[in-house]
Structure 1
Amino acid sequence: MTRTDSPRRWYLFDYGNVISTAPTPQDWDLLAEATGVDRLQDPGSTYWRHRFAYDAGSLTSDGYWSLVCGDRVGPLRAGWLDILDANQWSHLNLETLDVLEDLDARGERLAVLSNMPAAMAAQFAGAPWTKLFRHTFFSSALQLVKPAPSIFERVLAELAADPGLVTFVDDSPANVATAKDLGIHGLLFDPSSDLSRLLAEGRAVSGALQE
């Protein structure tokens, strides 16, 4: 039996590498020049090694960039590095935006859940893309970081949503796996993904489960 009065679904999107594209080599070169540290894009670099703590709000901007640079960084320089960092993550995926605008035009309920430091979230506040979303959840404000189950549980509580009525799109297999463990319909995104098709297939699977 098909339900015709099912509750409304939430669509929950990651930001980096989903709404935005990855930083360009030129972006990383600008940050390397400003920090004096090469290859910050590498997984084992100081940029990534301390990123979870920065995303969680456990480090100030000064503290994070001091760890990245390996030397004391004052507030003014840290502020400039935060601007460069936000800029390199500000290149938007136009295909994703098209899908988001279509969902919004259809009256779907959209939210963002992103690991993002407070300085970057502040720089993006009021950006045109944020107006598509009813809620924006950033790790630094929640003081919780994906893929911890607690951050998803917090978001579900804020949305007053049943996990089975949330579709979550993220580029991290670990984040998607945690969401699925909690009963959320998780979809793994990569730059080659056809987001419209991915969501359509997700709706078909979710609909079958609710019949």
Structure 2
Amino acid sequence: MGTPHLLLDFGEVISVAQPAADVSALAALAGLPVDAFSRLYWAHRPAYDAGGTARDYWTAIMGAAPGGSLLRRLVELDVASWLHLNQETLRLLDTVHAAGTPVSLLSNAPHDLARELDRHTGLAAFAHRIFSADLALVKPDAGIYSAALATLAAAPADVVFVDDRPVNIAAAEAHGIRGIVFTGTPGCLSEITAALSGPSDTRTVPGPRH
């Protein structure tokens, strides 16, 4: 095996879950109850993550096209809701970077969020930032993992992929990538460190759905 490469999801791995206050604020802007908003938000998210426009996405949620200023506010708040970072993950990444291990990002993200993450100082040291919107592919589509491996120029067995959704890990493992379901627990963080230290029989553990 060659040098290990850490490949990370962003949402609920590097970032924490969207705060309830942010979701409530988005629902209020969209003019919907929180429960209905959340259902529509996720139902239409795959097309947005695959490169769809913000106008189409928010029109699908609201049932009518938002005006320009409202659309801008919705996009800004949506992007901001994903920028609350997980401090435990950041500490792990500091250790990984210090050891000289290459780290890259593979995330489902629409164009607006992807471009914000490209500018984010916390991700500046990443070797590659790979986004679904740029590929018109969303996890767990098999093609996104093939594209990621080509970008990394790494053998599947040399890549340790961390994601909070078991279905995304299963799809990665089907490509021969070593997968770890992220839970944020000390045991999970130790498992990531161990997987990067050399060949191991890495096992997935149960985790929350993103």
Q: Compute the TM-score of the two structures, normalised by the length of structure 2.
A: 0.89
Q: Which moved more, 1:8-17 or 1:30-39?
A: 30-39
SS in structure 1 at match of 2:84 = coil
1:1-211 aligned within 5 A: 6-39=1-34, 45-57=39-51, 59-192=52-185, 194-203=187-196, 206-207=199-200
Cα separation, 2, equivalents of 1:62 and 1:111:
29
Cα separation, 1, equivalents of 2:35 and 2:146:
32
Cα separation, 2, equivalents of 1:40 and 1:63:
21
Report if aligned partners of 1:180, 1:186 keep a CA contact under 8 Å in 2.
yes
Distance 1:121 1:34, change over 3 A: same
1:94-150: CA deviations, max 9, x gaps? 000000011011111000000000011122332121113110001001111000110
Q: Compute the TM-score of the two structures, normalised by the length of structure 1.
A: 0.89
- Cα distance, 1:40 vs structure 2: 5.2
Report if aligned partners of 1:55, 1:118 keep a CA contact under 8 Å in 2.
yes
Q: Which moved more, 1:22-31 or 1:10-19?
A: 22-31
SS in structure 2 at match of 1:18 = coil
Report if aligned partners of 1:63, 1:73 keep a CA contact under 8 Å in 2.
no
Structure 2: give runs of 5+ residues left out of the alignment. 203-210
Cα separation, 2, equivalents of 1:30 and 1:78:
14
Cα separation, 1, equivalents of 2:166 and 2:76:
28
Matched residue pairs, number? Answer: 202
1:138-197: CA deviations, max 9, x gaps? 100111100011000001011111000000000001000001111000000124354431
1:59-112: CA deviations, max 9, x gaps? 211111011111112333222111100111110000000000110111110000
Specify the code of the residue in structure 2 equivalent to 1:185.
Answer: R
Report if aligned partners of 2:6, 2:196 keep a CA contact under 8 Å in 1.
no
Report if aligned partners of 1:114, 1:137 keep a CA contact under 8 Å in 2.
yes
Structure 1: give runs of 5+ residues left out of the alignment. 1-5
Cα separation, 2, equivalents of 1:90 and 1:189:
18
